[in-house]
Chains A and B, each alone.
Chain A
Amino acid sequence: MGAKRFGGLAATILAMTLAVPAFASDAKDDPLAAYRSGEMYSGYVTGDPSSREIQDDDMMNPSFLWVDKAAELWTTADGTAGKSCADCHGDVESLKGAATKYPTTDAATGKFMNVELKINDCRERQMGAAPFKFESDELLGMTTLVKLQSRGMPMNIDITGPNEKWFKKGEEFYFTSRGQLDLACADCHITNEGMYMRAEKLSQGQPNGFPTYRMKWQKLGSLHRRMRGCNDNIRAEKLKGLGEDYLAVETYISWRASGLPVETPSVRK
């Protein structure tokens, strides 16, 4: 696995650095240019036309039912402090750009967090309220509302300093085969991107559109739910949502997505 891992990483880095100029010259002919950055592309590019059409129209995108509820929660006081998000943050637009840097080490607590965990951190420390549960409508909606403020802005993950060990752990996970089928994330999303597995065209498995509305789920779902599904498909034990393993993988794939625009809330089949 060692050789493959570093080979893959080297190729990825090379691709990311070399391909940028090429991209700039092709950009005006490519209607999907906004969903690419160098060699990286979002799942929108390999997605089916009907999902894309729904994603393109906020009125049709069912994710906005959750966003609307989250906007109400934003101004609703909760917890022992009797405060709402809005009491401290004002308009949610004040969080423009914030989501692009997550997962990262939180300056206030020194803990490593993605957007979900940061929202729950504010609930616990700032509001004296219970954290929202993994995959609850509240957490999905609020995460989507926060990420929506960064829609169109490039992902920008720092993997130095205290973030480095999370990146390394995630990279290791990504290239390690697991499950009864003995496959690694990289086997499908790097080695075979663009190929078909039955009716599914393999994308790069990019995280920039999450939470995503999936037709198969008939609801909004988180990145960690998607990873649980990808583990289950190869008959691997599903790991804990918001647990350390998936948080580390999120770091690795969010770094890989650097330069891709935040696309939340995306729509997939």
Chain B
Amino acid sequence: MTVTPHTFGLRRPMIACATALVGLTLAGTASAEMARVQDPGLQPYTINGAEISEPLTAEPGDAKRGKALFINRKMGNCLTCHTAPIPEEDFHGNVGPDLAGVGSRMTAAELRLRLVDAKALLPESLMPSFYRTAGLRQVKKDFVGKPILKAQEIEDVIAYLQTLK
């Protein structure tokens, strides 16, 4: 297992390396290699191929809280870029794919990596890394050292996404 902390200024090389690992794993040429990641002030987690298998918290995610976080413009704000089966909310974005049925397409472990650090899957991804504090530039003072969503909030959003069957 390789330990790859997010260090300032080394974000991109680290990502390139994590992507290479994912590529290898998917190609089936290596026995599932893993990368351990720890950003300052956050829980460490292990990327295993395209997944983070272990939940970030002991408390299971709550889908109801997750839906509220998904909608809230100051929290997940997922509707900025995504359409989702939430007809009571006006104006869904279309920068990312429609999330209807995403709970059937993706496992909780896959959703976890997607939310925690989409750029570990796809370095050019436009989707923000919701659980990350390192390697960012010009961050507004109030948000320095803070992830967009806390560990429990990530688990809550995953629980909600899993209801989208």
Contacts and interface: CB of A to CB of B under 8 A. Distances in A.
Interface of A: 1, 4, 176-183, 187, 191-192, 195-199, 202, 231-232, 235-239
A215 B64 CA distance: 36
Interface of B: 12, 79-81, 90-95, 119, 124, 126, 128-129, 132, 136-141, 143, 146, 148
Secondary structure call for the A interface: loop
Given A182-B129, A237-B140, A195 B148 contact: no
A177 B119 CA distance: 12
A217 B129 CA distance: 31
Question: Quick one: which of B12, B92, B128, B132 has the most chain A CB within 10 A?
Answer: B128
Contact of B138 (A1, A191, A236): A236
Contact of A198 (B92, B138, B141): B92
A9 to B, nearest CB: 15
For the complex, would chain B's binding face be called helix, strand, loop or mixed by DSSP majority? loop
Contacts of A179: 136-140
Contact of B126 (A178, A191, A232, A239): A191
A192 B95 contact: yes
Contact of B137 (A178, A192, A196, A238): A178
Report the 4 A-B pairs with minimum CB-CB distance, sorted nearest first.
A199-B91, A178-B138, A181-B128, A198-B91
A238 B142 CA distance: 12
A202 B93 CA distance: 10
21 contacts: A1-B12, A177-B137, A179-B136, A179-B140, A180-B146, A182-B119, A182-B129, A187-B126, A191-B126, A192-B95, A192-B126, A195-B93, A195-B94, A196-B95, A197-B93, A198-B80, A198-B92, A198-B93, A232-B140, A235-B143, A237-B138
Contacts of A192: 95, 126
Contact of A197 (B95, B128, B140, B148): B95
A182 B140 CA distance: 11
A89 B128 CA distance: 51
A231 B138 contact: yes
Contact of A176 (B80, B90, B92, B137): B137
A213 to B, nearest CB: 23
Contacts of B132: 182
A180 B136 CA distance: 7
A260 B39 CA distance: 45
B101 to A, nearest CB: 20
Contacts of A183: 126, 128
A244 to B, nearest CB: 14
A235 B119 CA distance: 18
B82 to A, nearest CB: 10
Looking at A176, A192, A231, A232, which has the most chain B CB atoms within 10 Å of its CB? Answer: A192
B153 to A, nearest CB: 14
A169 B150 CA distance: 35
A176 B138 CA distance: 11
A69 B92 CA distance: 42
A116 to B, nearest CB: 23
